[in-house]
Amino acid sequence: MQHLLSKRAITSVICALVQDELSQLRAQAPRHNSQPLVTEHVVTEHAILALDSRPVESEWAIAIDSFEWMALATRVVNYFRLNSSGLEDYLLRKNALSDWAEIVLKSRELASHDLRLTTSGSTGKPKVIDHSYSALVAEVSFFIEYFEKLNIKPQRIVSVVPAHHIYGFLFTVLLPDLLSIPVMRGIGAHAKAQQGLQTGDLLVAFPSFLTQLAKRSIQFAPNVAVLTSTGPCPPATLAALKAEGAEQVVEIYGSTDTGGIGVRHHETSPYELLPRWQRARSSIIDRNSKQTVAIPDSLTWQPESSERYFLPQGRIDQAVSVHGINVFPTRVADILGQHPNVKEARVRLLPDGSGLKALIVPHTEPQQAQTLITELQQYAQAKLSAVEQPKHYQVASHIPVNKLGKETDWPMDP
């Protein structure tokens, strides 16, 4: 019998979806009544949505308008595929997130268990990805066995990653649900990780968080393990965590599109392909669906004839079409990055597809951003073809990243 996701687990995901959606909505279009950005400690399992027209007297109330209510409900409907059961409209009749969890639970009893996730858009326009719930359960079951072989016996999950992300769902929702162990999230989890984890903790984190944690030189309690994914973690960070007493540091290679692809527990070893996958020439094949899946990075197999062990060698450049001509944003960014006044550059397709936009981080804060932009426009004319030259430049102090430390798109200045 397939594992049924518990109400506790579903509630964790709903809280993360609500928090993420409200944060995005209010960052993009501040409300007329100046409602604050929503933080993780506000959206808990006790949260109650309070429409402007239906105020709620509760310390857990989150004031929203009707547009936000619809956006939140739609986000939950899509993620859990509530339209498969016909219960989606019930989210508009209840305002407690615990009641929303009951509706999702009932929907999963009646119809689809599968999930519909959205990529972060860190490498382009966000994509919608459908995941088989049974495949996700099989993946986590593999990792439970993998952890046992490494003598990792989690007694508690300490999570600094959002529950609705594929990585967060697998290891901070599904894993503790299968093992019946507690999860610490939000501000408390961040504080616990920095102040000292307890014996039996499994810290689920991402590379930039772990790099900052390693700098604090915290001594880990016995039998504490660390899990990292969402991007490459510097070998020096992994070595420092082990030197500070982390029993095991496990890296997972994968993506929102695929879930986990490979795993390793030593920073100099190749990744081992998960059982779900089979090597193909420039891709991998899902043994269950028999579908071929493109790999986001160039891989070298160790040795070349290996069917199971590989090392990622960096992202494969993805061309975009500008007026019918293939253009490589990474190449354009590399050339802009060679300008003496540029520290970092990122390039993406404009939302309307008419050309490229560039985000520039200078070596020092310029007195006049427009002066640097003018320099870059002249530089680009000399170095790039007409379709490669960005139509829109923007100067920033840093490259924007999301809560997982992954680069995100940037809103364009008028």
Tell me which of 140-144, 280-284, 376-380, 385-389 is least confident. 280-284
Residues 172 and 269 in one domain: yes
Tell me which of 32-36, 182-186, 222-226 is least confident. 32-36
**CATH number of 328's domain:** 3.30.300.30
The pLDDT of residue 257: 87
Given a cut of 80, whether residue 278 has pLDDT beyond it is yes
Choosing from 315, 347, 375, the residue where a domain stops is: 315
Domain-embedded: residue 401:
no
Q: How far apart are the first and last CA of the chain?
A: 55
Residues 209 and 308 in one domain: yes
The pLDDT of residue 35: 53
The 10s digit of each residue's pLDDT in 344-387 is 999 998 877 788 999 999 987 656 788 899 999 999 999 998 88
The pLDDT of residue 345: 93
The pLDDT of residue 374: 92
β-sheet bridge partners, residue 63: 50
Q: Which of 46, 41, 12 is nearest to 162 (CA)?
A: 12
Residues 304 and 381 in one domain: no
Domain-embedded: residue 405:
no
* Number of other CB atoms surrounding residue 218 within 10 Å: 17
Tell me which of 11-25, 178-192, 363-377 is least confident. 363-377
Q: Which of 218, 219, 189, 223 is nearest to 206 (CA)?
A: 189
The pLDDT of residue 33: 44
Domain-embedded: residue 407:
no
DSSP assignment, residue 400?
-
Residues 185 and 307 in one domain: yes
Q: Which domain holds residue 53?
A: 7-113
Output helix, strand, coil percentages for the chain, rounded to the nearest 5.
35, 25, 40
Residues 281 and 327 in one domain: no
**CATH number of 257's domain:** 3.40.50.12780
The chain-wide mean pLDDT, for the chain, equals: 88
CA distance 181 to 170: 14
The 10s digit of each residue's pLDDT in 111-138 is 999 999 987 655 556 788 999 999 999 9
Domain-embedded: residue 279:
yes
Order the strands of the 392-395 sheet from edge to edge.
342-349, 356-362, 392-395
Residues 226 and 190 in one domain: yes
Query: Tokens standing for 288?
Result: 């269950």
CA distance 393 to 33: 32
The 10s digit of each residue's pLDDT in 293-325 is 878 788 889 988 889 999 988 777 677 778 667
Residues 300 and 168 in one domain: yes
pLDDT average, residue stretch 213-230: 92
Residues 156 and 226 in one domain: yes
Query: Tokens standing for 116?
Result: 């519909």
| 340 contacts: CB under 8 Å, gap ≥ 6 | none
Domain-embedded: residue 1:
no
Quote the pTM value: 0.82
The pLDDT of residue 405: 79
- The band of 15, judged by pLDDT with boundaries at 50, 70 and 90, is very high
Q: Which of 354, 353, 358 is nearest to 329 (CA)?
A: 358
β-sheet bridge partners, residue 27: none
Residues 267 and 181 in one domain: yes
Q: Which of 281, 354, 334, 320 is nearest to 123 (CA)?
A: 320
β-sheet bridge partners, residue 260: 254
Domain-embedded: residue 413:
no
Choosing from 65, 88, 113, the residue where a domain stops is: 113
Given a cut of 50, whether residue 206 has pLDDT beyond it is yes
Choosing from 254, 285, 315, the residue where a domain stops is: 315
Can you list the positions of beta strands (E) in 138-291?
156-159, 183-184, 201-205, 225-228, 248-255, 259-264, 271-273, 277-279, 283-286
CA distance 83 to 70: 15
Residues 137 and 273 in one domain: yes
- The band of 32, judged by pLDDT with boundaries at 50, 70 and 90, is very low
Residues 33 and 134 in one domain: no
With contact defined as beta carbons under 8 Å apart, do 260 and 274 qualify?
Answer: yes
Residues 158 and 280 in one domain: yes
Domain-embedded: residue 225:
yes
81 to 90, 104, 162: CA distances (angstroms): 13, 9, 19
112 to 82, 108, 171: CA distances (angstroms): 8, 6, 21
Number of domains in the chain: 3
The pLDDT of residue 254: 92
Query: Tokens standing for 182?
Result: 């507690």
Domain-embedded: residue 43:
yes
The pLDDT of residue 231: 84
Given a cut of 80, whether residue 224 has pLDDT beyond it is yes
Q: Where are the alpha helices (DSSP H) in 115-195?
A: 133-149, 166-168, 175-179, 186-195
Within a 13 Å sphere around the CA of 48, how many CA atoms are in the beta-carbon half? 10
| 130 contacts: CB under 8 Å, gap ≥ 6 | 114, 115, 116, 117
Between 36 and 53, the more confident residue is 53
Q: Which burial class, exposed, middle or buried, applies to 275 when counting CB atoms under 10 A from its CB (0-12, 13-18, 19+)? A: exposed
The pLDDT of residue 105: 97
The pLDDT of residue 31: 47
Task: Tell me the helices (H) and strands (E) count for the chain, helix number first.
Answer: 11, 21
Q: Which of 283, 278, 285 is nearest to 308 (CA)?
A: 278
